[in-house]
Amino acid sequence: MALAINVSSSSSSISTSSFPSSDLKAPQIGSLRLSDRINVSSASLSISGKRSSVKALNVQSITKESMVPPQAASMVASEIRKKVDVIDVEDFEELAKKLETASPLEIMDKALEKFGNDIAIAFSGAEDVALIEYAHLTGRPYRVFSLDTGRLNPETYRLFDTVEKHYGIRIEYMFPDAVEVQALVRNKGLFSFYEDGHQECCRIRKVRPLRRALKGLRAWITGQRKDQSPGTRSEIPVVQVDPVFEGLDGGAGSLVKWNPVANVEGNDVWSFLRTMDVPVNTLHAAGYVSIGCEPCTRAVLPGQHEREGRWWWEDAKAKECGLHKGNIKESSNGNNAAVNGNGTTSTVDDIFKSENVVSLSRQGIENLMKLENRKEAWIVVLYAPWCPFCQAMEASFDELADKLKGGDGVKVAKFRADGEQKEFAKSELQLGSFPTILVFPKNSSRPIKYPSEKRDVDSLTSFLNLVR
């Protein structure tokens, strides 16, 4: 029997030389200065009724021993961990309401108090240096990490160095996989994102490294503000259970996301930076407001919104690189808003775009179900591109497809099961919620449903080995 299948294809390092010390500092407002900065070298945490001295991770003087950067593959420190209760969505929704009118300093203090060494600040080299200043002012130990995509501006790298020296910290850098970057550049060139969109490049250079970083944490802190992007960030709370990424314990709801400056306007953030006389990116003085990778960031003109300087060739309402993909909402009707050519609807880009992921049509998956003696096993994800939990597993599923490419006797596929396909998927494919993962063994007519919420590559591979 012929199998009708539709296939959709898609598919640095910091210089160690010294930089001149000409980095811009925010000018003073009036005469207010912080004459005596807080210095904390260690903290004591009470665990099981005992006092335990814990070394402060990012509030220490830099020594020769600390010059060696932490392992990029894991952000789990060897120090004693502070006990954190099981994450409860309703608890954090209630906490978000209580903190809605709190100051960024109060929110930061609560985040660091609650998660201790299991939380870290995401620092991009833009105005979110304010987050580091707030953490410093709490007097608590804190951690900072950043994503080095290999395409940042020289000014951003200089700021990283200045910030480390100013606060006496070491930023924990995460880097993209060299093999993935090499394959992208060889296949599509250095600037393919101008032609087919920024999502693929951002997924390799930013989203996957971030995913690795967050798998070592139970919470993270971002510089998101409601006024940054009316199309995607207007409803972000000050604290939430992360709708996209997984934390240390794995599975949906295992990571908490803190947004201390969510309710602060950009002008007020800059007033704070000037008042505290902290280092800022020199690009700001050249008209750059929102700063990302060099090829995808430009200065904005007076009166333009700050996000107009990012991915300016794309739709202004969906300018997210994937780090905050959960901000993109499904339309109110529960499906999608605009009809596309194949009879389904979509408000966001499709996901699972690896060239090694087979895209199944309705006819294709029906034919797959009818085959009783398959030549190879199949693993299929039933998904909706707007679903944050599907988005959360995109990187791991694409990675699984790349890992199984040619040789393991397994085909990796996707079937879009929302919209008009949803009732069919529920009645014929065991769809309960998105995503649903099915394995079609070689010698079985009935697919086996993957039962776990752990959707990392190792868990999926282990399940495949047990049932195929």
Which residues sit opposite 146 in a β-bridge? 173
> Buried b vs exposed e over 108-126: b needs ≥16 C-beta within 10 Å?
bbbbbebbbbbbbbbbbbb
3-state SS track over 293-353: EHHHECCCCCCCCHHHHECCCCCHHHCCCCCCHHHCCCCCCCCCCCECCCCCECCCCCCCC
- N- to C-terminal Cα distance for the chain? 22
The two structure tokens encoding residue 260: 């201390």
SS3 of residue 380 by DSSP: strand
Distance CA 21, CA 159 (A): 10
Positive or negative torsion for Cα 405, 394, 439, 366: negative
Tracing tokens 């009316």 back to the chain, one arrives at 230
Q: How many helices (H) and strands (E) does the chain have?
A: 14, 13
Radius of gyration, CA atoms only, the chain: 23
Cα separation, 230 vs 413, whole angstroms:
35
Whose CA is closest to 410, among 444, 377, 457? 377
Of 191, 159, 378, the closest CA to residue 281 belongs to 159
Q: How far apart are CA 202 and CA 193, in angstroms?
A: 9
DSSP secondary structure, 358-378, as one string = EE--HHHHHHHHH-SS-SSEE
What φ, ψ does residue 440 adopt, rounded to 5°? -105, 100
Tokens for 9? 């294809």
Is residue 167 classed as helix, strand or coil in its secondary structure?
helix
Catalytic residues: 387, 390
DSSP characters over 199-213: HHHHIIIIIHHHHHH
Nearest residue to 218 (alpha-carbon basis) of 244, 246, 243 = 246
CB-count burial class (<10 Å; 0-12, 13-18, 19+) for 146: buried
